[in-house]
Homo-oligomer: A and B are copies of this chain.
């Protein structure tokens, strides 16, 4: 068991957002700090630090080469974001940015290392103090978020920040099995993670659709189970080093005994059924499973895990363990016999037997086993970690039994839910809230999950970012930090910042719309794309037959999971119905509605010219109808609220139709218009 300090309480005064803070002695100089995640304590100071080419860093205390590299990268980032040329000069003894590092930290980053830091910015300079290198990395990121351009130039307002995370395990899972994600994609996502202080990359490396890691011992994995798409061991090592430099642990997942069809293409002797096997190209839960009854299985796994445990230095090793449907076991008489002989009541018992033996192997190689909900079984030792895709109830149950757990239910980024929906998911809520403090300490944190059935390297950034940032805040900041308006306003800022790191969530959106627009101007397509969202949950899988060869190049693949424009319009609608609109609000609503109403006319020739856009014609027409209804409703509401009953019925019927998914897309302004129509009084 590793020695980790577990969850910590926020210290000091919490300032969710420090709004309209007026600098003493300066007229009309309103500044807003836009930090995400919100630090544990923020104390405004007096004055501001001007950033200029002479800014330099001095490293003191136990700063090692990792911190040196971090300081270089910090200055590069600061230079990029400000346009001011900055370079570290190690010989500068008058540096105005002094970093003091208490310890360089262990060679392999451990769960629960101290990530706290204190950042002091005054008009004269900066002090960043941290007991451990990780806190220095965190402090650098906070500083970058403090940079503002104001009337006096590029500045950082004076401030004292004392900060530390609430949970020690703040992860992002990336599925590289369903669609392979090249190392470059992983790397810039690690940059994004660092920016919002996520500290675990959970790398889903094998599944029915592929085994993505080079094995020296079992080369048939890359030769036969990967279709040529795998990470070499050198690439893995580079990613791990890259992650460590950014204060991020890398936990590999090799999913077994289910989700392992691809394994059997190379090594059919591991399977419960006779085969033959092919790398799976469809999505879903499949029958093939490892045969847990043969000793040879464990000899093989011992070798494989031995090799992978060496390649991945982190102390945790994820064995998946989810969604075993048991069909392959049921079909195999020898396995049935084995179950009967051992007195196993069901396949869950059999899987627990597998997990138990697996856990011994994992442990023998110096690792702690982690698995999804399904691994939970009283026969397993208490040191394993359970990752819950089912929810707080399952997590509470695990904690109650003495297991440590992570929440991922509610943090599935592939379900296309708005940031707000992920943001309110609290690991310590629900059934977990009913646990005692010691049991609550078992909740290590959580992980945002990016399952990759519907993403490619082109659009994956736009599925992860910026929404992963709100999960990062949930896991870092105090439970009380939950104002949605503040969150969205800060999210907008961080989203822009992330593009400077090479993330493409904004630029790819434009590229994909340009691709769909062909030789036409993309403006009209963007007007539509800006107010639609992909269908939610698992609706896409049900909409048509998808597989790994299906092009993901349609409008649904391009649009953002969450429409900012539609959310803004919903806010305007809310104020309208609360009779709280300003004239500016009303003008903005009318202008937006008119642009949506008039868009179909502009867009029609573009839609007609392109096979990939044929499916969009009805949704574009629907937007026209919805906007027309919205404009009429606005007129009625402005003129007292009465509307002809027949018009009202007709619009509500139309809106019900227009609210339905078309081309796997939803018109996100339809619900707002529906509210407006509903608010009219039938004559």
Q: Could you list which residues of chain A lie within 8 angstroms of chain B, going by C-beta atoms?
A: 32, 34, 53, 80-85, 87, 148-154, 227-229, 456, 458, 493, 496, 499-500, 506-507, 510-512, 514-516, 518-519, 548-554, 557, 608-612
Contacts and interface: CB of A to CB of B under 8 A. Distances in A.
A300 to B, nearest CB: 28
A80 B458 contact: yes
Contacts of A499: 507, 511
A507 B318 CA distance: 38
A228 B88 CA distance: 9
Contacts of A493: 519
Contacts of A516: 149
Given A507-B499, A511-B499, A83 B552 contact: yes
A87 B519 contact: no
A20 B53 CA distance: 54
A557 B83 contact: yes
Contacts of A458: 80, 83
A492 to B, nearest CB: 9
Contact of A548 (B85, B228, B549): B85
A511 B515 contact: no
A239 to B, nearest CB: 17
Given A32-B519, A496-B514, A151 B610 contact: yes
B515 A81 contact: yes
A50 to B, nearest CB: 10
B611 A153 contact: yes
Contacts of A227: 87
B611 A149 contact: yes
A493 B514 CA distance: 10
Contacts of A548: 85
Contact of A612 (B153, B228, B549, B612): B153
Given A499-B511, A511-B500, A519-B493, A609 B151 contact: yes
Contacts of A152: 611
Contact of A150 (B500, B515, B611): B611
Contact of A549 (B85, B557, B610): B85
24 contacts: A34-B519, A53-B549, A53-B551, A80-B458, A81-B515, A82-B553, A83-B552, A84-B553, A85-B456, A85-B548, A85-B550, A87-B228, A87-B229, A149-B515, A149-B518, A151-B608, A152-B611, A153-B611, A154-B611, A154-B612, A499-B511, A506-B507, A507-B507, A507-B510
Nearest to A85: B549
Contacts of A149: 515-516, 518, 609-612
Nearest to A90: B228
A82 B456 CA distance: 12
A154 B611 CA distance: 8
A182 to B, nearest CB: 9
B551 A85 contact: yes
A506 B84 CA distance: 21
A506 B511 CA distance: 10
Contact of A148 (B83, B151, B153, B518): B518
A664 to B, nearest CB: 15
Nearest to A507: B507
Nearest to A613: B149
Contacts of A496: 511, 514
- Of A149, A153, A557, most buried by chain B (CB within 10 Å of CB) is A149
Nearest to A557: B83
3 A-B pairs closest in CB distance: A83-B553, A507-B507, A153-B611
A548 B85 CA distance: 8
A550 B54 CA distance: 11
A440 B512 CA distance: 46
A34 B552 CA distance: 25
Contact of A515 (B83, B507, B552, B611): B83
A80 B553 CA distance: 9
Contacts of A549: 53, 85
Contacts of A554: 83
Contacts of A550: 85
A153 B511 CA distance: 18
A622 to B, nearest CB: 22
Contacts of A229: 87
Q: Give the one of A82, A148, A510, A519 with max B CB within 10 A.
A: A519
B611 A151 contact: yes
Contacts of A515: 81-83, 149
A390 to B, nearest CB: 32
Nearest to A53: B549
A218 B66 CA distance: 29
A112 to B, nearest CB: 35
Contacts of A153: 611-612
A512 B611 CA distance: 35
A26 B34 CA distance: 56
Nearest to A32: B519
Contact of A82 (B82, B507, B551): B551
A551 B514 contact: no
A156 to B, nearest CB: 14
